[in-house]
């Protein structure tokens, strides 16, 4: 069964389940029987029906390497801001590592677009800051640049408020998450960069200040403006 066929059947079952909540006992019972019959016929569960309306937007990172911890955290907080889920796929050879944002409606696309914009800004700010570290060993320079980025993401996180989606939306996203990534979900066991000296703490302060003018909302306003211009 193709994804389009599954969605069509799932939509039909969802309509039946909605009618099953009717105040008319006869209509509700008939709708419930039809929904049960369709799920049995196509071997579907209620989770399958919920997950069928969830879709993804993917954003590649340009290399097959494992992304730094702070970049994964940026993806997670952006997903929360848009009421989506997020998942990282490690690349291989010529296949770049990517993040997936999944949810309902336009939300995954807005989340992916916002991540792309902020990721570019963070890379630019990291490069600018790293250029100021002229009298450091390579290991020290990398640690301080990582501390800078971690603080940058922490500052962005202040703008995020947990998305207050409906129970149905959250159930659909959780069902999709379990269906698509259930066996591959692993917690990242790597450790953050840790400040070891006073100058390291200054790196964190610099990252926190660098993100002061960065907004989660500007990319969204730009994207919506593009939609309006095209309509």
Supply the pLDDT for residue 41: 87
> Do 219 and 129 lie in a common domain?
yes
Of 45-49, 64-68, 102-106, 140-144, the least confident = 45-49
Helix 198-210 crosses helix 107-130 at what angle (to 10 degrees)? 140
> Do 111 and 223 lie in a common domain?
yes
Q: Burial, 62: exposed, middle or buried (Cβ in 10 Å; 0-12, 13-18, 19+)?
A: exposed
Supply the pLDDT for residue 227: 45
Res. 225: pLDDT tops 70: no
| Distance (Å, whole) CA 150 – CA 140 | 15
Q: Which of 13-17, 26-30, 222-226 holds the top average pLDDT? A: 26-30
> Do 203 and 217 lie in a common domain?
yes
| Distance (Å, whole) CA 72 – CA 12 | 37
> Do 63 and 166 lie in a common domain?
yes
> Do 22 and 97 lie in a common domain?
no
> Do 23 and 98 lie in a common domain?
no
Q: How far apart are the first and last CA of the chain?
A: 34
> Do 96 and 74 lie in a common domain?
yes
Domain that residue 31 falls in: 3-51
Res. 78: pLDDT tops 50: yes
**Residue 117 CB neighbours (<10 A):** 19
Range 125-131 average pLDDT:
95
Res. 88: pLDDT tops 70: yes
**Per residue in 139-190, pLDDT tens?**
999 999 999 999 999 998 887 765 556 777 888 888 888 888 876 666 777 7
Residue with the two structure tokens 């570019």: 120
Q: Burial, 83: exposed, middle or buried (Cβ in 10 Å; 0-12, 13-18, 19+)?
A: buried
> Do 219 and 106 lie in a common domain?
yes
Res. 31: pLDDT tops 80: yes
- Over its C-alpha atoms, the chain yields an Rg (Å, rounded) of 22
Range 216-226 average pLDDT:
64
Q: Burial, 24: exposed, middle or buried (Cβ in 10 Å; 0-12, 13-18, 19+)?
A: exposed
> Do 142 and 216 lie in a common domain?
yes
Angle at 71 between CA 69 and CA 75, to 5 degrees: 115
Supply the pLDDT for residue 150: 95
C-beta separation of 169 from 105 below 8 A: no
Number of domains in the chain: 2
Range 131-135 average pLDDT:
90
Range 87-116 average pLDDT:
89
> Do 67 and 169 lie in a common domain?
yes
> Do 226 and 205 lie in a common domain?
yes
Model-level pTM? 0.79
Supply the pLDDT for residue 223: 61
Residue 56 DSSP label: E
> What's the mean pLDDT when you consider all of the chain?
84
> Do 114 and 210 lie in a common domain?
yes
Last residue of a domain, one of 51, 69, 91: 51
Res. 49: pLDDT tops 90: no
Supply the pLDDT for residue 184: 61
């Amino acid at each position: 069964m193709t994804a389009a066929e599954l969605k069509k059947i799932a939509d039909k079952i969802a309509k039946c389940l909605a009618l099953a909540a009717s105040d008319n006992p006869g209509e509700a019972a008939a709708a419930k029987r039809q929904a049960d019959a369709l799920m049995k016929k196509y071997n579907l569960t209620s989770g399958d029906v919920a997950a069928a309306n969830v879709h993804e937007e993917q954003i590649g990172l340009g290399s097959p390497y494992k992304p730094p911890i702070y970049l994964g955290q940026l993806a997670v907080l952006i997903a929360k801001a848009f009421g989506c889920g997020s998942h990282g796929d490690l690349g291989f050879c010529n296949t770049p590592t990517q993040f997936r944002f999944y949810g309902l409606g336009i939300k995954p696309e807005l989340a992916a677009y916002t991540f792309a914009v902020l990721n570019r800004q963070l890379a630019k700010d990291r490069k600018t800051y790293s250029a100021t570290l002229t009298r450091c060993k390579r290991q020290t320079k990398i640690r301080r640049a990582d501390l800078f980025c971690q603080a940058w993401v922490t500052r962005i996180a202040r703008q995020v408020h947990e998305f207050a989606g409906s129970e149905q939306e959250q159930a659909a996203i959780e069902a999709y998450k379990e269906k698509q990534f259930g066996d591959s979900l692993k917690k990242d066991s790597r450790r953050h960069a840790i400040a070891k000296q006073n100058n390291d703490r200054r790196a964190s302060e610099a990252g926190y200040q660098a993100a002061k003018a960065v907004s989660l909302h500007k990319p969204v306003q730009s994207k919506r403006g593009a939609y309006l211009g095209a309509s």
